[in-house]
């Protein structure tokens, strides 16, 4: 019976087309849907549940349709998609998210039995923030960790940067696992660089979180080690090189002790230990930093032979980085300030979060960018303007003004804007969406005038300086 079903499925999947005398048989299905199942931390046998879910979701008779971004558990058809598993595990599976589609189709909806389903089940660690005793200059977390939950989804980038980064990291690790790190030509080192507040650090933490879920069958444990670079030079002044050396020795030992553990090292603001040696001066501090850079370079060379480690580095001073360090970066990826559509999506997400938390009331839903753009084109920012048009008008105000640097507004400023504006102007308990948008607009205008005044002051000072011939 099972065989007959298999055959029917094969026929379904492999429609045979005749072209003249030739028979063209399409290849096997290559499209893949990735689904992540978040399991309650009280559940003990996560692997058994992963297997059961995998079997159900990839069953040939499962013709449920899913969209990327869906949480199958909150879908009204969840009991159909999951069959009997739904009743048994509905309190155990906290979410079942469709996170990625890889394939040629560009549809928004995919039928499960026409694609390959890859399911990863995971539980979030909720351990305290730990100072690793083995590496006192770092903070370590077992991944995936509750501390980083949701961060990844909140990050908005124009291109498919997030998915691309997951694949790059997955590929580096797979290549190393398959052929051994010794045969690898590139350093397992990715540098994310760009202006402040563009999401570099958050992206690295999110990547470690996602990889720990995606590769959970290859690695039984993932650890994120965040090096406190700023401390290295100040706290351990004059012995930073030794500290950097110790860090690499410990990481090397950790990787060798347990090849089934994946270690993701985040070196945030790497310029503090990879400052260009050409620009160094000869004072004591600079000499210390120079020795630290040398240790970093040797440490990275040593780590090249390890198959289960990846270094993620961030910098907003890429121009000051040592060329030998830059040369060792397997990949250098520019992270730019958000585009107009990304700005809208970021601010919309934050307003929605405040609505979900009950700080703003709204009976209207917040439109997506395309719809907002149509609203804005139709009505502008007049008294009758709809929510989307109002948000776009605020962004227009920000982008045309002086209240941000010439590099464009950062994701950080946008993320904080709605909450800051409400905190500043709310006088009472309730805030509806129209009020909230007025507050945000007022806040932007006030920032704007402060910037202008600030510049005016500066000018006055320099005029005074000129007057006194300074």
CB 338 within 8 A of CB 414: yes
**Binding track, positions 242-261, relative to ligand ATP; x by CB under 6 A:** --------------------
Question: Of the candidates 31, 32, 201, 298, which one interacts with ligand ATP according to CB under 6 A?
Answer: 201
- Pairing of the two strands 17-19 and 22-24: antiparallel
If contact means CB under 5 to 8 A according to the sort of partner, which of Mg ion, ligand ATP, none does residue 305 touch?
Answer: none
- Pairing of the two strands 32-39 and 93-102: antiparallel
Compute the least distance from the CB of residue 132 to ligand ATP, in Å: 22
- Comparing CB distances to ligand ATP, the nearer of 69 and 180 is 69
Is residue 224 a contact residue for ligand ATP (CB under 6 A)?
no
Contact range with ligand ATP by CB under 6 A, out of 61-69, 79-87, 155-163, 434-442: 155-163
If contact means CB under 5 to 8 A according to the sort of partner, which of ligand ATP, Mg ion, none does residue 155 touch?
Answer: ligand ATP
If contact means CB under 5 to 8 A according to the sort of partner, which of ligand ATP, Mg ion, none does residue 316 touch?
Answer: ligand ATP
**Binding track, positions 320-349, relative to ligand ATP; x by CB under 6 A:** ------------------x-------x---
CA–CA separation, 367 and 385 (whole Å): 13
Is residue 196 a contact residue for ligand ATP (CB under 6 A)?
yes
Is residue 199 a contact residue for ligand ATP (CB under 6 A)?
yes
Is residue 201 a contact residue for Mg ion (CB under 5 A)?
yes
Contact range with ligand ATP by CB under 6 A, out of 150-158, 182-190, 236-244, 368-376: 150-158
Contact range with ligand ATP by CB under 6 A, out of 89-97, 108-116, 128-136, 407-415: 407-415
Contact range with ligand ATP by CB under 6 A, out of 58-66, 148-156, 381-389, 429-437: 148-156
CA–CA separation, 26 and 440 (whole Å): 55
Distances (CA, A) of 422 to 51, 83, 349, 435: 47, 45, 16, 9
Within residues 157-176, the interface with ligand ATP by CB under 6 A covers 157
CA–CA separation, 99 and 159 (whole Å): 16
CA–CA separation, 373 and 345 (whole Å): 12
- Comparing CB distances to Mg ion, the nearer of 243 and 314 is 314
Distances (CA, A) of 98 to 16, 52, 194: 31, 17, 30
- Comparing CB distances to Mg ion, the nearer of 197 and 388 is 197
In the block, tokens 């899913």 appear at 66
- Comparing CB distances to ligand ATP, the nearer of 209 and 216 is 209
Is residue 197 a contact residue for ligand ATP (CB under 6 A)?
yes
Is residue 314 a contact residue for ligand ATP (CB under 6 A)?
yes
Compute the least distance from the CB of residue 260 to ligand ATP, in Å: 30
160: which 2 tokens? 């498919």
CA–CA separation, 405 and 412 (whole Å): 13
Is residue 299 a contact residue for ligand ATP (CB under 6 A)?
no
The phi and psi torsions of 16 (rounded to 5 degrees) equal: -95, 130
How many residues in the shown chain lie near Mg ion by CB under 5 A?
A: 1
Nearest to 317 by CA among 414, 229, 188, 393: 229
Q: Which residues contact 388 (CB under 8 A, 6 or more apart)?
A: 366, 367, 369, 371, 372, 373, 375, 376
Question: Strands across the sheet with 32-39, in order?
Answer: 93-102, 32-39, 116-122
- Comparing CB distances to ligand ATP, the nearer of 188 and 338 is 338
Contact range with ligand ATP by CB under 6 A, out of 26-34, 69-77, 193-201, 248-256: 193-201
If contact means CB under 5 to 8 A according to the sort of partner, which of Mg ion, ligand ATP, none does residue 252 touch?
Answer: none
DSSP states along 241-252: HHHHHHHHHHHH
Angle, vertex CA 94, rays to CA 90 and CA 95, nearest 5: 105
CA–CA separation, 177 and 171 (whole Å): 10
Q: Which residues contact 4 (CB under 8 A, 6 or more apart)?
A: none
**Binding track, positions 69-108, relative to ligand ATP; x by CB under 6 A:** ----------------------------------------
Is residue 198 a contact residue for ligand ATP (CB under 6 A)?
yes
- Comparing CB distances to ligand ATP, the nearer of 201 and 249 is 201
How many residues in the shown chain lie near ligand ATP by CB under 6 A?
A: 18
Is residue 151 a contact residue for Mg ion (CB under 5 A)?
no
CB 265 within 8 A of CB 251: yes
- Comparing CB distances to ligand ATP, the nearer of 268 and 375 is 268
DSSP states along 326-359: HHH-SEEEE-PPP-HHHHHHHHHHHHHHHHHTTS
Per CB under 5 A, residues contacting Mg ion are 201
Per CB under 6 A, residues contacting ligand ATP are 154-157, 196-202, 314, 316, 338, 346, 411-412, 415
């Amino acid at each position: 019976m099972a065989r007959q079903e298999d055959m029917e499925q094969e026929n379904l999947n492999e429609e045979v087309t005749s072209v003249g005398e030739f028979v063209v048989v399409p290849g096997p299905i290559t499209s893949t849907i990735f689904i992540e199942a978040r399991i309650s931390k009280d559940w003990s046998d996560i692997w058994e549940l992963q297997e059961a879910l995998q079997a159900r979701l990839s069953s040939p008779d499962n013709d449920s349709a899913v969209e990327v971004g869906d949480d199958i558990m909150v879908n009204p058809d969840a009991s159909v998609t999951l069959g009997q598993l739904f009743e048994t595990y509905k309190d155990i599976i906290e979410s079942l998210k469709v996170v990625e589609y890889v394939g040629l189709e560009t549809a928004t909806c995919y039928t499960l039995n026409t694609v390959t389903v890859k399911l990863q089940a995971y539980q979030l660690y909720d351990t305290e923030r730990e100072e690793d005793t083995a590496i006192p200059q770092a903070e370590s977390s077992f991944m995936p960790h509750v501390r980083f939950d949701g961060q990844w989804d909140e990050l908005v980038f124009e291109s498919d940067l997030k998915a691309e980064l997951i694949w790059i990291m997955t590929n580096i690790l797979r290549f190393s696992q398959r052929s051994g790190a010794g045969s690898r030509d590139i350093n397992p080192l990715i540098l994310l660089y760009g202006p402040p507040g563009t999401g570099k650090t958050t992206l690295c933490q999110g990547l470690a979180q996602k990889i720990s879920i995606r590769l959970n069958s290859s690695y039984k444990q993932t650890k994120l080690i965040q090096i406190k670079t700023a401390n290295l030079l100040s706290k351990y002044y004059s012995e930073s090189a030794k500290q950097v050396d110790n860090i690499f020795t410990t990481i090397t030992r950790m990787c060798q002790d347990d090849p089934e553990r994946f270690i993701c090292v985040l070196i945030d603001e790497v310029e503090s230990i990879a400052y260009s040696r050409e620009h160094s001066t000869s004072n004591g501090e600079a000499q210390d930093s120079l020795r630290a850079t040398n240790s970093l370079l040797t440490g990275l060379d040593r780590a090249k032979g390890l198959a289960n480690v990846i270094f993620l580095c961030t910098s907003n001073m890429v121009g000051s980085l040592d060329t030998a360090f830059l040369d060792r970066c397997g990949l250098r990826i520019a992270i730019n300030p958000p585009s107009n559509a990304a700005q809208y999506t970021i601010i919309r997400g934050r307003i929605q979060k405040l609505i979900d938390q009950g700080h703003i009331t709204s009976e209207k839903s917040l439109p997506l960018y395309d719809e907002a753009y149509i609203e804005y084109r139709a009505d502008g920012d007049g008294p009758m303007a709809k929510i989307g048009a109002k948000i776009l008008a605020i962004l227009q105000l920000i982008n045309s003004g002086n209240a941000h640097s010439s590099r464009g507004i950062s994701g950080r400023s946008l993320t904080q804007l709605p909450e800051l504006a409400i905190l500043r102007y709310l006088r009472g308990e309730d805030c509806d969406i129209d009020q909230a948008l007025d507050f945000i607009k007022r806040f932007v205008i006030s920032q704007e005038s402060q910037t202008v005044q600030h510049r005016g002051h500066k000018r006055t000072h320099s005029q005074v300086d000129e007057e006194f011939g300074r």
